[in-house]
Structure 1
């Protein structure tokens, strides 16, 4: 693909990529605010309406790697436009739903569009901005993701109270149309592909089965026999997937990619860090209301500090990566994350709200720095024909961390409390730091 060189064109292209990150991130959380209303509207139980959220997340988790690989094969712009169109039309179908089954099915299709958008947006950065500005672009996309996730519950509440539950889905339609036009006009055209490898259908199905089983095991509430069976299915599926990929002539994921220590390390670090970040989202409300005894309004205000820091830190974090290097900023980000989690694990409750907010602000700002650095580190060294699948793997590693964090860290908090939870969180970040430091030492020795 030709690099966009005019600054105005770059800005419009980045505007399209930002919307492509914002829209699916917004819909990850916007439906949560409407679950009580939707339960009443469809005369359903909470467990039933919860599938409005789960169908979307499961679709993204199971399809995102395949979406990235398909983009490498058929053209990223073509597939990103398809993803925007699918997401927009599915949002319209959600808003017009007359039954819960219809709404859940439409949310699953919306998740397909979201998987295409999330996988290909990151992959497009190298084709859109100069290499020296990659960190800034990654930071901006991180900011858009944070804005979407943060804005979702608040925007959902306003739309439901003012217009109705349909509005939380229909709001995507005009934004989607605008994004489609921007992407069509401003993103660089797909380059001709001399040879198209076949699409790995068996590998795709096995990976979807494996990821779907794992995600369900982690999200189906109280642990029991079904969760264990699903985990067993995930383990067996993973083994079969590796066997099939080793034999495939055109594999979904080339296993040789993981011989690159930098790539493997970055993926593992992404899972660990995302696990810890989900812990802050899961544990925070219970700690603030139960331990500190805050009222609901004050809990909401306090919880808004972390996402606000993420929004403000994204672009500056990207600029730091461009200036000082991705590997160095990865280590810095992890170091301060571990420090914040460690402080939170020993903070006396007598320090009240400031004792919670200050470490959370450090953790969140450091996470923004890590994300910008890690994304830059991974994508800057990837060949053009593998950017889509690697971007999909990067998004998958984050999703797996979030799913694991919600289940495992939530269970740790329920059984052991705040101190043990964040002591474990600090340990996970230290483990990520141990993984990052050898790569940093290799970089210094090479220099």
Structure 2
């Protein structure tokens, strides 16, 4: 970019932060809102439990598959271009999802919705880190994380209200409106472009190997108990991903710079993110079903209860981000992961007669843990790489998040297929639903325990200090 005056730079920072935070709000808002709508969608389209899981998981899988290729494309051809195109696609398929006439159509539209989301995920944080200097990065990343958690906060309340009063389709319609606002601001107010890797080549073969491998891995993992050939699909995915790593090591301009993972901070921060999201994402989905199916609450009431977790996340994330500019990120993130582990352990003991205040207290604990982990961990990842790799670093971290979220849902899908065996989720299925939840929370707690050690193993970020 050309040299900017102080006023122009200030305006650029303002609109970059606005665009990044509003877009960061969007997808978690829809995700948490859809969790409240899952029972209503199942009733309207007569969908059984595993298919309902795929309505949520399809968006995550598509986003994870395309995030890294689009992150690299943004570094090469322009982060603003990719971001804007992704937001337009996101808006279009949100509209089509709201107009869907069958479960299969909704599933298809959610896939394309996820592709648009991948283009946004891979560029939003990269734009922020391109505009703000390192000394201010923790603060704006904290605000960005707060936007994510605000979306998570409002999602259950607004999603529950819309589902209860107007119908689940209005969740998608509201997302269309918000996405179009972001498109308008980006097109008219966000001046300039960022493409520090321009002139380098794009690894098309690597993109194909990664996309096919990730798709096969995710589908094989989720369908291992429902699709006879799923284990072979899972194995194929692993082989393709191994081939992808080999391709990246040999390519002059790799899609993913494997050398970045030689940086201990970068490698273990990404591993910690993968484990954190794998062990926590499906919690909202499971508790939405618990509150509506097992406890018999309507979507609106369940939404207000689920609000307790993300409110803490939204309030504490900016503080945690600012604190990570002064305190080692591994300390804050590891503390957050430890609190999350404790919260997951407590969820194991939920049953039909558990008082609602116990669930609320547990959600508060999880909210504090998530807030302490997320923005310090993001700060560690982005501070560990050179500026020219911001797009790839952002996309890699986003991939860890989305792969973790998809794995979290895939594990739930697997346990549902074992215990519910194609049943629709009704009150009669409560005992089996509770059993599936209990196994899920045990596995998530074990994963989170491992994540604490991954977080501690990253070493120190601050210059002049040894790991």
TM-score class, shorter: 0.7 to 0.9
Q: Please report how far the alpha carbon of residue 345 of structure 1 lies from its aligned counterpart in structure 2 after TM superposition.
A: 6.1
Q: State TM-score, norm by structure 1.
A: 0.84
Which residue number corresponds to residue 207 of structure 1?
Answer: 210
Counterpart-to-counterpart distance in 2, 1:97 and 1:347: 35
**Would you say the 8 A contact 1:270–1:394 is kept in 2?**
yes
Single out whichever of 366-375 and 270-279 deviates more from structure 2: 270-279
Judge conservation of contact 1:278–1:402 (CA < 8 Å) in 2.
yes
RMSD: 3.7
**Residue 29 of structure 2 contacts residue 154 of structure 2 at CA under 8 Å; is this kept in 1?**
yes
Cross-structure match for 1:296: 297
Residue from 137, 142, 145 that aligns with 2:145: 142
Correspondence for 1:257: 260
Map of 2:423 onto structure 1: none
User: Aligned-pair distance for 1:423?
Assistant: 5.9
Q: 1:228 aligns with which of 219, 231, 239?
A: 231
- Tell me which residue corresponds to 2:391: 388
C-alpha displacement of 1:192: 6.7
Is 1:244 aligned to residue 264 of structure 2?
A: no
**How far does residue 253 in structure 1 lie from its aligned partner after superposition?**
1.0
User: What's the counterpart of residue 80 of structure 1?
Assistant: 83
Q: Deviation string for 1:63-102 (max 9, x for gaps)?
A: 0111111101101112111112222233344445566665
Question: Structure 1 residues 179, 348: CA separation in 2 closer, same or farther (over 3 Å shift)?
Answer: closer
Query: What residue is the counterpart of 1:429 in the other structure?
Result: 448
Report the CA distance between 1:218 and its aligned residue: 3.6
Q: 1:155 Cα shift?
A: 3.0
Instruction: Supply the distance in 2 between the matched residues of 1:416 and 1:96 (Cα, whole angstroms).
Output: 32
Aligned equivalents of 1:164, 1:294: Cα separation in 2? 21
The corresponding residue for 2:30 is: 27
Moved more, 101-110 or 303-312: 101-110
**Structure 1 residue 384, shift from structure 2 partner:** 2.5
Give the equivalent residue in structure 1 for 2:426.
none
Aligned mates of 1:207, 1:335 — CA distance in 2 = 32
Which of 311, 314, 317 lines up with 1:311 in the alignment?
314
Q: How far 1:326 sits from its partner (Å)?
A: 2.5
Structure 1 51/432 Cα, relative in aligned 2: closer, same or farther at 3 Å? closer
Equivalence for 1:168: 171
CA contact (8 A) 1:3 1:128 kept: no
User: Structure 1: which 5+ residue stretches go unaligned?
Assistant: none
Residue in 2 aligned with 1:446?
466
Partners of 2:436 and 2:35 lie apart in 1 by: 27
When normalised by structure 2's length, the TM-score is 0.80
- Summarize the alignment of residues 61-72 of structure 1 with structure 2, pairs less than 5 Å apart: 61-72=64-75
Could you say which residue in structure 2 is the equivalent of 1:362? 365
The residue correspondences of 1:314-329 to structure 2 (distance < 5 A) are 314-329=317-332
SS in 2 for 1:70: helix
Find the counterpart in structure 1 of residue 112 from structure 2: 109
SS at match of 1:171: helix
What is the distance in 2 between the residues matched to 1:423 and 1:49? 22
> Quick one: distance in 1 between partners of 2:348 and 2:314?
25
Inter-partner Cα distance in structure 2 for 1:211 and 1:342: 30
Gap change, CA 1:4 and 1:129, over 3 Å in 2: farther
Q: Is the 8 A contact 2:288 2:302 kept in 1?
A: yes
The whole-number CA distance in structure 2 between the counterparts of 1:347 and 1:45 is 26
Shift of 1:258: 1.3
Instruction: Out of 101-110 and 324-333, give the one that drifted further.
Output: 101-110
Taking a change above 3 Å as real, the CA distance of residues 10 and 345 of structure 1, as seen in their structure-2 partners, is: same
- Show CA shifts across 1:96-130 (max 9, x none): 55666655444333222111111111111212333
Q: Find the counterpart in structure 2 of residue 91 from structure 1.
A: 94
Deviations 1:376-435 (A, max 9, x none): 1101232232211221111111122222223436739966974x7656545433422323
Distance (Å, rounded) in 1 between the aligned partners of 2:395 and 2:194: 20
Structure 2 counterpart of 1:378: 381
**Native 8 Å contact 1:24 1:118 kept in 2:** no
Relative to its length, the structure with more helix (as a share) is: 1
The count of residues paired between Structure 1 and Structure 2 equals 443
